[in-house]
Every structure is written in C-alpha cells, then in structure tokens.
Chains A and B, each alone.
Chain A
Amino acid sequence: MSKERRIGVYVCYCGGNISDYVDVEAVRDALENEDGVVVAKTHMFTCSDASQQLMIDEIGEENLDGIVVASCSPKLHLHTFREMAKRAGLNEYTYSQVNIREQDSWTHRHDVEAATEKAIRLVRGGVAKTKLTAPLKNIRIETKPRVLIVGAGAAGLRASLVLADMGLTVYLLEKEDEPGGWVKKWGKMFPNNKRGDESIAKLVAKIRTSESITLYTNARLIEKSGSLGDFEVKIEVKGETIPLNVGAIIVTTGFKPYELAQDEFGHGLNGVITLPEYKEILFASGEDKLIHNGKPVKSVTFVHCVGSRQRQEDYDKPNLYCSRYCCTASIHSGLTTRGIDPSIHQYHLFRDIRSYGRYELLYEEARNGGSLFLRYDPDSPPIFEQAKNGRVRIQVKDQLTGNEELELETDLVVLATGMVPRENDELNNVLKLPIGLDGFYNEIHPKLRPVETVVDGVFIAGTSQGPKNLAESVSSALASVSKSGGLLMKGYVDLEPFVAIVDADKCTWCGKCEEICPYGAIEKITAEDGSKEIALITKAVCKGGGTCVPVCPEGAIDIEGYTNEQITSLIDAMIKEVV
C-alpha cells in the first residue's frame, strides 16, 4: 500500500464478558502504537448507540479509512458495525470484526494473562488485514420477473397459480402427458374427504386459462446457465428446444412410491396390493360394494411402515426415515372403506402410529369403530402366505397382547408403501442440487431456510425434498413462492462482494479452477488483447468458497476481502515476535 492507512481500533469490554478474562486496557495499549493505527479506544458496550455515535464522530474527525472492532462473534454484530461504517461515510467493507469473546475470553477463563496475549495477537491480525482492505461494492443483479417450475404435481400447480397472482410469468414443466402428479389418481383424501382428482382438475382448469402461466407437457429441462435472478435455461418439449430466461427456478418433482422386492410383506401373493393401488380400487368402487378380482371384499388388513423406517441390519440401502403420510392415509382409507361397507373387518399391523396433530382424531375414530390395531416388532415381522381358500393368511406377534402369536385370514392385504426419491439424473446434472443421504433434495436449513438450496435462486418444494402429506407439500410450495416472489418482485438483488477475481496477466488457463469449482462459476474466455485464454468468474454465481485459490499453479486467483496478501499479513502480524 502506497498510502499510509488511518485505522481506528475499538476494544470492547462487553460489560465484563470480555473484560473479566481479558485485560482490555492492556490490549488497547499494545495496539495504540501499531503501524497505521491512529485511534485506539475501549468501550463498555461498543454496540450501544452512544458508543456507535462516538465512533462515527471519530471516523469523521480523525479522517479514518478503516476500522477494527474487537468484540463478539461477527455472527452477532458484523452487520451492526457495517451499517455504522456506512453511516460514517466509510465503505462498509473497510470494517473488520475481531472475535475476542467466543474465541478468547469465554474460552480461556482460567488464564487472564494468556487470554490477554491472545487478544492482542488477534487484534493485530485484524489490523493487518484491515490495512489492506479496498473499498468494495456489492454486486447488484437486475432480476427477471419470470419463474420456471419443474414438475406439475399438486405443489407445482399451486405454486404456479400464486406466482401468477403476484404478477410474475410462470413456465410450468411436466414430463408426463398430463399435469397433476399422483394426486389426480386418488379419490377421497384425508383429512376432509376432498377428492384428489377434483382438486387437481380445479387447479389445472385455472392454469389453462391463466395468461401468465405456460404449461409444457412432455417437457424436460436440459440446460441451465446464468445466475440468481437471471438464468438462461433450455427446455425440450416433444423434440423441440425452447430457450427461456427466468429469475428463479422451483423444483417440485415429487416422489415415487416404494417398490417392493418379491415376497417382501407378502408381495406377489394374490390379494396383496399397495396403498396407492387400494386407493384406486376405492376410487373406482365409488359408493358401491368393494370388489376385488370380481369378489366382494369382506376383510382388509393394512400393513404400516412398508419401505419406511427400515433398519440397517435388514437392508443394504435402508430407507431410515418415516414417510409421514402412510399412517394417516391407511387409517383414512380404512374409514373410507367403512363408509362404503361397514361390515368389512379391518386390521392394521403397525409399528408405531404416527397420525400426528389433528389426524389423531381419525385414529380415534378408526379404533372406536372397531378397526383392530396389532403392533408388530420389526424383529419378528408378520408372515404372509396364500391360504387354500385363496385368501391371505397372516401370522403376527402382537406386542400389545404380550407377544401372543395371532393368526388371521383376510381378503386383501394393503401395504402402506412409503415415499422414495425419484431418479432425476438428468435434472440433477443440470441443476447441481445437493442430495441428502436419503436421496431427496437438501435444503439449506431444515427449520430456518426450508425451501432454499445452496444454489442461489433455485428452490425446492413438495415431496422432492422429503416425504410430506398433501397439506405439507402445498405449504412448502407456497414457501418457495414467497422466497422466489420476494426475490423477483424487488427487481434487483445485492450480493456480498467477496468473490474470486482472476489476475489476467498471471492466468494461463489450465482449467484446474473450473474443474474444482462446485458452483460452476468459472468458464474459459479469450483475454482482451486476444493473446491467450484465461478464466472468467461469473460474480453472481461465485460464493467466494475459495477452492479455486490453492489449486491455481500461477497464484492468479484471489478472493476479494480475503486476498492472499491480506491473509499472509494477518498471519505475520499474529505471530510477530514468535518466529
């Protein structure tokens, strides 16, 4: 740096949180004479409005061009002090926070002397890094008011309509011939007996008349480039490629039902079917007698937890999770069955009933109505065999009767198959979405950021993200609408400027950075003077992860705000007098 920097250092007492274990005044004294430091002060609470005002005044009076606050974790007050710097007319990225609370005073309560020395070294490092800061500007992206939704099941359909209501343009992709997903095949659904096919028909009718929504069936997403707010995508519809420009992408590709192995829970025996198949039979029988294979059904046995909550010792690749919908769907199907023919005997073989929340009332209704619930132990699961009379004979150890071995015969066995992830290899390749151990798409945070992914501008919703019932699926679809709508309605988005930059003189394009970048932010371009090929970093896609920096053999890549020079001088300052 040619120009002498004027840095202000503020060390915080944190009302004793720091000063009880770190000699704050000694830290200030040590930093006062540090090269480039013009002001060094302490505050009881640096974050208080009064202290902030004193610092703002000082920044002006002393003409400071960089500040360091040694206080708590930046997770707590980074933005507080960045805003303070802005109010003082300083570039917010010339501010550095040094953590001497979580990483020092709270950790070394037994040794004040050592904690104080550590604080001095940490703050020195902060000063060294701050001396090399440059005023950085946020990266502003103008967003496009259009959304691409992949998958026209219940979640995708519902999300499309709400986005259209907000005034955004929606392109809705469906790989099948017809929209509607699984729900369109189902009749009465819990909790209010509304029919799935009718709900879907209503949504589809609205979509077809909406001017803002374009529905593409037999369509696939084949290419994606660009970034948050401004993606260039290509879709293929019946052999034709169509380019689209969208601001956000929502993935609602759904689930597929668990596929049974031969003999698993009697699969393959006559009279053993899955819950989705049973729902179709219920749907087809309307309000009349229940018929299967031309014969009236006199008894039904539901088997719960099929393909869900599998145990490591029983399967090579177990589905460890609960599929959430099957308990209630089985119970509700039982109640629907009773509505058609109350004389049908009903048995439920379960492990634990998870008809959570209000669905508990359905469970109560089923029990009081005479459905028999038998609890089996996965250590000795029920055994199924074909009886001579064509029915299915089941042997089950009922835990609630003290592991009494019981035998029952039933016309129909309904296996409540869980949800498993779809195999979307092509889509996964295009979008590079993170996939969890269970095979479903992963959100950033299951509680606080439930529909966002690490790929900015790409959201996940519905059962593509994990098992959900219809209500939960639609809720998450609407959450993705609010996240994508919020992003696009504002018209622009500001991103932090801590991204990779390439030194065009040093770069020789070996391609190593492009290979290692997990976000696909690097591409090859021809240098301005046309002499060679170099790497170009798309700032909006770069996350500043820094994986490209150490692989570059020429040392041509730096991360803004964390340059090699800054980090080296930070380390040098920290270990001064030691080596």
Chain B
Amino acid sequence: MYKIDADFVEAVSHSDEFNANACMHCGNCTASCPMGLELLPRKLFRYVVVGLEKMVVENAETIYSCLLCKMCEESCPADVHIAGNVKKLRNYINTKYYKL
C-alpha cells in the first residue's frame, strides 16, 4: 500500500520539464529500448504521475542506466519527452537525495 504524495506530484509531474500525462501505455518505449531496462519508461513515469516517490527513488539505478539515446522518444506515438523526463528525474534525485 502506497500513499499518493500530492506534493511530489506537484514538484515533478506538474513541472514544465516533465510531461508524461499524454502516455497511453502502449509499450512502444519498452519494445525499442536497447538497454532492455528493467523498469520500463511507461511504468516509471506512471510512478511519478501517481506520486509514488519511494518507488521512483528505489529505482534510481535504472534511471541512471538510461543512455538518453531517445530511441523510445522516436517511437512514442503520444510525443512524450521521455529523455527529458528522465533528466528531470535525475535532477530531482541529485538535488534531494545526493545533495549535489
């Protein structure tokens, strides 16, 4: 059971740099990922949209494994800025958890 954290949603999901609301969960990003990342972009972003900060932080390693190659972005039919979103998440974790 996870509690939806409205503040986290506000801080990340509603910022201009992050945009995953258009995601329709088609899975094209997963299919085209050359790294075969364990946590799929659509699922990761869903955690963000829903405000599950804990789940996002737990998956920090996956977030940092992304090559930012934008293969997923190329094949996204909903124009989600996947690489940009990943960068925004890294930025959030860097600042809040790694105090960089």
A residues neighboring B (CB under 8 Å): 299, 345, 347, 364, 367-368, 370, 372, 374, 395, 398, 400-402, 404-408
Residues B3 and A400 in contact, CB atoms below 8 Å apart: no
- Cα–Cα, bound, A404→B3 (Å): 11
Residues B50 and A367 in contact, CB atoms below 8 Å apart: no
Given A400-B25, A401-B50, A406-B50 in contact, is the A370-B14 Cβ separation under 8 Å? Answer: yes
- Which B35-81 residues sit within 8 Å CB-CB of chain A? 43, 46-47, 49-52, 55
Given A367-B21, A367-B22, A368-B21 in contact, is the A401-B6 Cβ separation under 8 Å? Answer: no
Given A367-B22, A368-B22, A370-B13 in contact, is the A408-B4 Cβ separation under 8 Å? Answer: yes
Q: How large is the interface on B (under 10, 10 to 19, 20 to 34, 35 or more residues)?
A: 20 to 34
Pick the contact of A395 from B1, B13, B46, B52 — CB < 8 Å? B1
Nearest CB of A to B27, in Å: 12
The interface residues of chain B lying within 8 Å CB-to-CB of A374 are 50
Name B's interface SS: mixed
The interface residues of chain A lying within 8 Å CB-to-CB of B9 are 345, 370, 372
Q: List 13 A-B contacts (CB under 8 A).
A: A347-B4, A367-B21, A370-B13, A372-B4, A372-B9, A372-B50, A401-B52, A402-B43, A404-B2, A404-B55, A406-B52, A407-B4, A408-B3
Nearest CB of A to B4, in Å: 4
The interface residues of chain A lying within 8 Å CB-to-CB of B1 are 395, 405-407
Nearest CB of A to B19, in Å: 8
Q: Nearest residue in A to B42 (C-beta to C-beta)?
A: A400
* Apart from A400-B25, A402-B43, 8 more pairs, CB < 8 Å: A345-B6, A368-B19, A370-B9, A370-B13, A401-B50, A406-B3, A407-B1, A407-B2
- Cα–Cα, bound, A405→B55 (Å): 12
The interface residues of chain B lying within 8 Å CB-to-CB of A408 are 3-4
Residues B4 and A406 in contact, CB atoms below 8 Å apart: yes
Given A370-B14, A374-B50, A401-B46 in contact, is the A406-B2 Cβ separation under 8 Å? Answer: yes
The 4 closest A-B pairs by CB, nearest first: A367-B21, A408-B4, A405-B1, A407-B3
Residues B47 and A401 in contact, CB atoms below 8 Å apart: yes
Nearest CB of A to B10, in Å: 8
B residues neighboring A (CB under 8 Å): 1-4, 6, 9, 13-14, 19, 21-22, 25, 43, 46-47, 49-52, 55
Q: Nearest residue in B to A407 (C-beta to C-beta)?
A: B3
Pick the contact of A370 from B2, B21, B22, B25 — CB < 8 Å? B21
Nearest CB of B to A402, in Å: 7
Residues B21 and A400 in contact, CB atoms below 8 Å apart: no
Nearest CB of B to A409, in Å: 8
- Cα–Cα, bound, A347→B51 (Å): 12
The interface residues of chain A lying within 8 Å CB-to-CB of B14 are 370
Nearest CB of A to B52, in Å: 7
Residues A299 and B6 in contact, CB atoms below 8 Å apart: yes
Given A367-B21, A367-B22, A401-B43 in contact, is the A372-B49 Cβ separation under 8 Å? Answer: yes
- Cα–Cα, bound, A487→B3 (Å): 62
Q: Nearest residue in A to B19 (C-beta to C-beta)?
A: A368
The interface residues of chain A lying within 8 Å CB-to-CB of B47 are 401
The interface residues of chain B lying within 8 Å CB-to-CB of A401 are 43, 46-47, 50, 52
- Cα–Cα, bound, A395→B43 (Å): 20
- Cα–Cα, bound, A123→B2 (Å): 77
The interface residues of chain A lying within 8 Å CB-to-CB of B13 are 370
The interface residues of chain B lying within 8 Å CB-to-CB of A395 are 1
The interface residues of chain B lying within 8 Å CB-to-CB of A400 are 25, 46
Nearest CB of A to B21, in Å: 4
Q: Nearest residue in A to B14 (C-beta to C-beta)?
A: A370
The interface residues of chain A lying within 8 Å CB-to-CB of B46 are 398, 400-401
- Cα–Cα, bound, A367→B22 (Å): 7
Nearest CB of A to B18, in Å: 11
Residues B2 and A405 in contact, CB atoms below 8 Å apart: yes
The interface residues of chain B lying within 8 Å CB-to-CB of A370 are 9, 13-14, 21
- Cα–Cα, bound, A368→B13 (Å): 10
The interface residues of chain B lying within 8 Å CB-to-CB of A347 are 4
Residues B52 and A404 in contact, CB atoms below 8 Å apart: yes
- Cα–Cα, bound, A374→B52 (Å): 13
The interface residues of chain B lying within 8 Å CB-to-CB of A404 are 2, 50, 52, 55
Q: Nearest residue in A to B20 (C-beta to C-beta)?
A: A367
Given A405-B1, A405-B2, A406-B4 in contact, is the A398-B21 Cβ separation under 8 Å? Answer: no
